[in-house]
C-alpha cells in the first residue's frame, strides 16, 4: 500500500512535505503544458514554399483588409443633396416685388408726365419721362430693397426694363403671370448646380411656347436666367455621416487562431505575407505570453487546491487529499499529452479517446465530490493548453466541451463502488457524454455522410467506455494502494485459513463461534442501513482476538461442566482480565498491521459500558467502589459500523446465555439493550439515527430468533414417518 510509505515520508519531511509536493506538481504541470505551446522561431518571406501548414497563432483583426473594405464601402456612398422647397416661393416673391416696383415706376412716370403737361404752355412740346429716367427711378427703388435682394434685381438685363416700361398694363400683367407660372413649375423640381443650365434651357423652351407677343416672350426670357436658380444643394455633413455609417457597418476582417494561412507545399504570396505581418509571424521570435499563461494556470490550480483543502481540519486527511489530487491530475495530464502526440489533421479527433470521466470519478469516490468537480474543470483548462495547436478549429471546442461534460457526469455518480451501480454508471459515464458529443457535432453542422464524422463519434464513445472500464477494473487496485481496508485486503482477512483465525479456532473455539455469529448479525444489520458490510464482518472476526491471552477466563470457551475460574478471583482481578481482552486485542491487531477500522472496532466494541456483574460483586465487598472503576476504557463507538458491532456483540452473548430463549424474550432484551446504550450515551458518536436504530433492532431480532429459537416438538412425527415408509413400499411393488 502506498499510504504507509507515504506516511513514513510525511513524517520524515514534516512541514516541508506539502510545499515540496506542490512545487513538484507545479514543475510537472508547467513542463507538460510548455511542451504543447512551445513556439519556434520563424522567418517567412514572399515566394517561399511552406514546408507545413502555416496556421494563425492568435485571433486578431486584419486591419489593412478591414480598412480596404471600409474605403470601398465609403466610395460606394453617393453624395447626399438637400432640396430647399422654400426657394421657389422666395423666387416668386422676388418676381412679385420686381413687378410691384415696375408698376410704381410706371405710375410715378405717368404722374410726372401729367404734371409736365399741366405746366407746359400750349405752344411748348411736352418732354415725357424718358426710358433712362425710368431705369434710374427703378434703380432708386431697387436700392431701397433689402441688401440680399439688390444683387438679384441688378442682374436683370436692361432690355427687360425697356420692354416692360413699353408694355400696356394688361400685357405687363400677362408677363408677370407667365413668369410666376414657369417659376412654379420649374422650381418645384430639384435643381442642382450641375442641372442649372438645363433647367434654364427648359424654361426658355417653355417660354417659346407661350401665346404672347415676342416682346413679352423676350421679357419673360430675360427673367428666366435670373429667376431659375439652384434649389438642391450638396449636404456635405450628411454625406460624410452616410460614408461614416457605411464604414462602421463593415464587419472587421478577422484572422482566427488555427486558421490555415498557407497550406503545405503552397507558395507564400503577398496576401499571405500581409496576414503574417498582422499576426507578427514574418519574423517571429518565441513569445513569453504562453509561458506566462502556463505559470498562471499552474499557480491557479495549486491556489484553488490549497483553498479547497484548507478547510479540512485533520492534517493527515488534508495531506492525503492533496496527494491524491496531485497524482490523479498528473496522470490526467500525461494521458492527454499522450493523445496529443498522435493528433494530426487526419486524426484530429483522437483526443476524444481520452477517458475524461475517469479522474473525476476516482476523486469523487475516494476523496469527495467537490474534488471531482475541481478536477473536471481543470482538465478542460489544461486541455486548452495541451491541444493548443488545434485552437481556432472546430476540433478544440468539441474536445473541451466533451471533456467538461464527461467529467461533470462522472462526479454525479453516488459515492459507492462503481461496479455495484450497473445501469446508473453506464448512463452517467457512457450514454449521456456520448449524447452530448453527438449534439455538439450536430451543432457544428458536420456531414454525417463523411467517414471522419463517424470516426470522431467512435472515438468519443470509446473514450466514455474506457472511463467506465477503468473505473470498474482499477477501483480495487486504487483502493488497495491508498487505503488499508480495501476489499482485496478484507477478503484476505476473511479467509478462515488466516493465522489469527486458525489460532482463535484452536485455542478459543467458543470465542471463534461467537465472533462468527456476531459477524453475521452485524453484517446483515449494517447492510440494512447502507454501511460497509465486508469491513463490518472482518472486524467482527477479530474483535475478540484479545481473548487468546486468557481464553479459559471467558465463559464461552469453558468446557461443559467446568467451574468458572472467576469464582476464585477478586472482582478487581476479573475486571483486569476482562478489560485486557480489548487492549490486548488492539496490540495484536496493530502488530499484524490490520486495517485501522478493524483496530478501531476492536477498541470501541465495548465503548465505556459498565461491567455490571463484577461491579455488583465489588460493591458488595466495598461500598466505596465507583462505576468508573468498572467501565471499559473505551472510547465509545465512533462509526455506524462500530455501533452495530457493539450492540450485536452484547445481544449475541446474552441470548446465548438465556435458558429457553423465545422470540418474545429476545425482542424484549434487544429493545432494552439498545435503549440502555442510548441512555448511557454509548451511541452518541456513531451518527446512527433513530430510524436506523429501529432497522438495526429488527435485523438483530430476526437473526437471533432464527438462530436461538426453541425447538418445537412434533408428536405426530413417528406416525407420519411410518406412513411415508408404507407409501414407498407400495410404490416399489
Per-residue pLDDT for 725 more than 70?
A: no
**Domain residue ranges in the chain:** 3-37+286-482, 42-62+253-284, 81-234, 498-708
Torsion sign across C-alpha atoms 81, 82, 85, 91: negative
Question: What pLDDT sits at residue 561?
Answer: 64
Poorest-confidence range of 158-172, 257-271, 702-716?
Answer: 702-716
Would you place residue 717 in the very low, low, confident or very high pLDDT band (cuts 50, 70, 90)? very low
Question: What pLDDT sits at residue 57?
Answer: 65
Distance set, CA 347 to CA 350, 451, 464 (Å): 6, 12, 18
Task: Give the residue-averaged pLDDT of 608-630.
Answer: 84
Per-residue pLDDT for 2 more than 80?
A: no
Would you place residue 727 in the very low, low, confident or very high pLDDT band (cuts 50, 70, 90)? low
Would you place residue 258 in the very low, low, confident or very high pLDDT band (cuts 50, 70, 90)? low
Question: What pLDDT sits at residue 122?
Answer: 60
- What integer best gives the mean pLDDT of the chain? 83
Task: Give the residue-averaged pLDDT of 40-69.
Answer: 74
Cβ atoms of residues 409 and 433 within 8 Å = yes
Q: pLDDT tens digits, residue range 374-404?
A: 999 999 999 988 888 777 677 888 888 899 9
Task: Give the residue-averaged pLDDT of 158-178.
Answer: 84
Percent of the chain with pLDDT over 90: 23
Question: What pLDDT sits at residue 328?
Answer: 92
Would you place residue 158 in the very low, low, confident or very high pLDDT band (cuts 50, 70, 90)? confident
Question: What pLDDT sits at residue 489?
Answer: 85
Cβ atoms of residues 525 and 697 within 8 Å = no
Q: pLDDT tens digits, residue range 85-117?
A: 888 888 888 888 888 888 888 888 888 788 877
Question: What pLDDT sits at residue 524?
Answer: 94
CA–centroid distance for 619 within its chain:
69
Would you place residue 651 in the very low, low, confident or very high pLDDT band (cuts 50, 70, 90)? very high
Question: What pLDDT sits at residue 27?
Answer: 93
Per-residue pLDDT for 330 more than 90?
A: yes
Percentage helix, strand, coil, to 5, in the chain? 70, 5, 25
Q: pLDDT tens digits, residue range 503-520?
A: 999 999 999 999 999 999
Would you place residue 445 in the very low, low, confident or very high pLDDT band (cuts 50, 70, 90)? confident
Percent of the chain with pLDDT over 70: 91
Neighbours of 492 (CB within 10 A): 12
Per-residue pLDDT for 314 more than 90?
A: no
Question: What pLDDT sits at residue 321?
Answer: 86
Question: What pLDDT sits at residue 360?
Answer: 93
How, if at all, do strands 54-55 and 260-262 pair? antiparallel
Three state DSSP letters for 22-58: HHHHHHHHHHHHHHHHCCCCEECCCCCECCCCEECCC
Radius of gyration of the chain (CA): 54
Question: What pLDDT sits at residue 539?
Answer: 94
Question: What pLDDT sits at residue 670?
Answer: 93
Higher pLDDT, residue 330 or 37: 330
Per-residue pLDDT for 284 more than 90?
A: no
Question: What pLDDT sits at residue 732?
Answer: 52
Higher pLDDT, residue 589 or 196: 589
Per-residue pLDDT for 493 more than 70?
A: yes
Question: What pLDDT sits at residue 215?
Answer: 85
Task: Give the residue-averaged pLDDT of 468-481.
Answer: 83
Question: What pLDDT sits at residue 639?
Answer: 93
Cβ atoms of residues 510 and 559 within 8 Å = no
Q: Measuring CA to CA, which residue among 237, 291, 272 is closest to residue 38?
A: 291
* Cα 25 to Cα 292: distance, rounded to the nearest angstrom: 17
Cβ atoms of residues 411 and 361 within 8 Å = yes
Would you place residue 698 in the very low, low, confident or very high pLDDT band (cuts 50, 70, 90)? very high
Q: Which residues pair with 234 in a beta bridge?
A: 81
Question: What pLDDT sits at residue 182?
Answer: 87
Fold of 498-708: Hypothetical protein af1432 (1.10.3210)
Per-residue pLDDT for 711 more than 60?
A: no
Question: What pLDDT sits at residue 343?
Answer: 78
Q: pLDDT tens digits, residue range 414-433?
A: 877 777 777 888 888 889 88
* Cα 57 to Cα 284: distance, rounded to the nearest angstrom: 11
Poorest-confidence range of 219-233, 301-315, 547-561?
Answer: 547-561
Residue positions counted in the chain: 733
Would you place residue 189 in the very low, low, confident or very high pLDDT band (cuts 50, 70, 90)? confident
Per-residue pLDDT for 525 more than 90?
A: yes
Task: Give the residue-averaged pLDDT of 240-257.
Answer: 82
Q: pLDDT tens digits, residue range 536-564?
A: 999 999 999 998 888 888 878 777 767 77
Torsion sign across C-alpha atoms 362, 367, 370, 376: negative
Task: Give the residue-averaged pLDDT of 363-370.
Answer: 88
Question: What pLDDT sits at residue 713?
Answer: 42
Cβ atoms of residues 484 and 5 within 8 Å = no
Question: What pLDDT sits at residue 528?
Answer: 93
Question: What pLDDT sits at residue 39?
Answer: 58
Would you place residue 257 in the very low, low, confident or very high pLDDT band (cuts 50, 70, 90)? low
Question: What pLDDT sits at residue 41?
Answer: 53
Question: What pLDDT sits at residue 352?
Answer: 87
Amino acid at each position: 500500500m502506498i499510504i504507509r510509505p507515504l506516511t513514513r515520508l510525511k513524517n520524515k519531511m514534516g512541514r516541508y512535505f506539502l510545499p515540496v509536493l506542490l512545487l513538484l506538481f507545479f514543475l510537472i504541470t508547467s513542463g507538460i503544458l510548455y511542451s504543447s505551446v512551445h513556439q519556434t522561431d520563424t522567418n517567412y518571406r514572399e515566394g517561399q514554399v511552406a514546408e507545413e501548414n502555416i496556421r494563425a497563432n492568435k485571433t486578431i483583426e486584419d486591419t489593412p483588409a478591414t480598412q480596404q473594405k471600409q474605403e470601398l464601402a465609403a466610395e460606394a456612398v453617393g453624395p447626399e443633396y438637400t432640396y430647399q422647397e422654400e426657394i421657389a416661393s422666395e423666387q416668386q416673391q422676388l418676381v412679385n416685388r420686381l413687378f410691384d416696383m415696375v408698376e410704381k415706376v410706371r405710375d410715378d412716370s405717368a404722374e410726372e408726365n401729367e404734371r409736365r403737361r399741366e405746366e407746359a404752355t400750349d405752344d411748348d412740346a411736352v418732354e415725357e419721362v424718358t426710358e433712362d429716367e425710368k431705369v434710374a427711378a427703378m434703380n432708386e427703388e431697387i436700392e431701397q430693397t433689402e441688401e440680399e435682394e439688390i444683387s438679384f434685381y441688378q442682374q436683370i438685363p436692361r432690355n427687360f426694363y425697356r420692354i416692360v416700361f413699353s408694355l400696356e398694363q394688361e400685357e405687363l400683367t400677362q408677363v408677370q403671370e407667365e413668369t410666376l407660372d414657369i417659376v412654379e413649375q420649374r422650381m418645384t423640381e430639384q435643381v442642382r448646380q450641375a442641372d442649372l443650365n438645363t433647367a434654364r434651357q427648359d424654361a426658355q423652351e417653355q417660354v417659346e411656347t407661350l401665346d404672347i407677343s415676342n416682346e413679352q416672350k423676350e421679357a419673360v426670357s430675360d427673367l428666366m436666367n435670373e429667376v431659375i436658380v439652384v434649389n438642391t444643394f450638396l449636404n456635405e455633413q450628411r454625406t460624410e455621416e452616410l460614408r461614416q455609417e457605411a464604414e462602421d457597418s463593415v464587419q472587421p476582417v478577422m484572422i482566427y487562431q488555427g486558421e490555415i494561412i498557407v497550406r503545405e507545399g503552397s507558395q507564400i504570396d503577398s496576401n499571405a505575407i500581409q496576414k503574417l505581418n498582422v499576426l507578427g509571424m514574418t519574423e517571429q521570435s518565441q513569445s513569453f505570453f504562453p509561458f506566462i499563461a502556463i505559470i498562471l494556470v499552474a499557480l491557479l490550480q495549486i491556489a484553488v487546491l490549497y483553498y479547497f483543502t484548507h478547510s479540512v481540519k485533520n492534517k493527515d486527511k488534508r495531506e492525503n487529499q492533496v496527494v491524491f489530487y496531485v497524482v490523479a491530475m498528473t496522470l490526467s495530464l500525461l494521458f492527454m499529452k499522450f493523445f496529443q502526440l498522435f493528433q494530426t489533421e487526419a486524426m484530429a479527433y483522437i483526443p476524444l479517446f481520452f477517458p475524461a470521466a475517469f479522474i473525476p470519478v476516482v476523486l469523487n469516490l475516494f476523496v469527495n465530490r467537490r474534488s471531482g468537480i475541481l478536477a473536471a474543470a481543470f482538465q478542460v483548462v489544461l486541455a486548452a493548453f495541451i491541444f493548443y495547436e488545434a485552437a481556432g478549429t472546430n476540433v478544440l471546442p468539441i474536445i473541451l466541451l466533451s471533456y467538461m461534460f464527461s467529467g461533470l457526469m462522472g462526479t454525479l455518480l453516488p459515492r459507492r463502488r462503481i461496479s455495484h451501480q450497473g445501469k446508473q454508471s453506464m448512463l452517467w459515464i457512457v450514454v449521456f457524454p456520448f449524447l452530448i458529443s453527438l449534439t455538439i457535432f450536430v451543432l457544428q453542422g458536420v456531414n454525417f455522410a463523411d467517414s471522419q464524422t463517424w470516426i470522431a463519434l467512435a472515438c468519443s464513445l470509446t473514450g466514455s467506455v474506457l472511463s467506465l472500464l477503468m473505473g470498474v477494473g482499477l477501483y480495487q487496485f486504487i483502493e488497495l494502494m491508498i487505503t488499508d481496508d480495501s476489499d482485496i485486503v478484507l477478503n484476505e482477512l476473511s479467509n478462515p485459513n488466516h493465522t489469527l483465525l486458525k489460532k482463535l479456532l484452536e485455542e478459543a473455539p467458543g470465542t471463534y463461534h461467537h465472533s462468527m455469529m456476531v459477524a453475521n448479525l452485524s453484517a446483515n444489520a449494517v447492510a440494512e442501513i447502507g454501511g460497509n458490510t465486508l469491513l463490518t464482518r472482518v472486524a467482527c472476526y477479530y474483535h475478540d482476538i484479545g481473548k487468546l491471552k486468557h481464553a479459559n477466563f471467558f465463559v464461552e470457551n469453558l468446557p461443559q461442566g467446568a467451574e468458572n475460574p472467576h469464582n476464585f478471583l477478586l472482582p478487581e482481578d476479573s475486571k483486569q482480565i476482562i478489560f485486557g481482552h480489548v487492549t490486548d486485542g488492539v496490540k495484536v491487531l496493530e502488530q499484524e498491521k490490520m486495517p485501522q477500522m478493524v483496530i478501531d472496532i476492536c477498541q470501541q466494541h465495548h465503548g465505556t459500558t459498565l461491567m455490571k456483574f463484577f461491579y455488583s460483586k465489588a460493591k458488595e465487598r466495598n461500598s466505596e467502589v465507583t462505576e468508573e472503576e468498572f467501565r471499559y476504557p473505551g472510547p465509545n463507538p465512533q462509526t455506524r459500523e462500530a455501533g452495530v458491532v457493539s450492540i450485536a456483540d452484547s445481544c449475541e452473548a446474552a441470548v446465548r446465555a438465556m435458558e429457553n430463549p423465545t422470540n418474545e424474550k429476545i425482542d424484549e432484551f434487544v429493545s432494552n439493550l439498545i435503549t440502555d446504550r442510548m441512555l448511557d450515551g454509548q451511541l452518541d458518536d456513531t451518527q446512527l439515527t433513530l430510524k436506523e436504530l429501529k432497522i438495526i433492532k429488527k435485523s438483530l431480532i430476526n437473526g437471533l430468533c432464527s438462530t436461538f429459537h426453541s425447538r418445537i416438538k412434533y408428536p405426530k412425527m413417528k406416525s407420519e414417518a411410518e406412513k411415508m415408509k408404507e407409501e414407498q413400499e407400495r410404490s416399489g411393488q
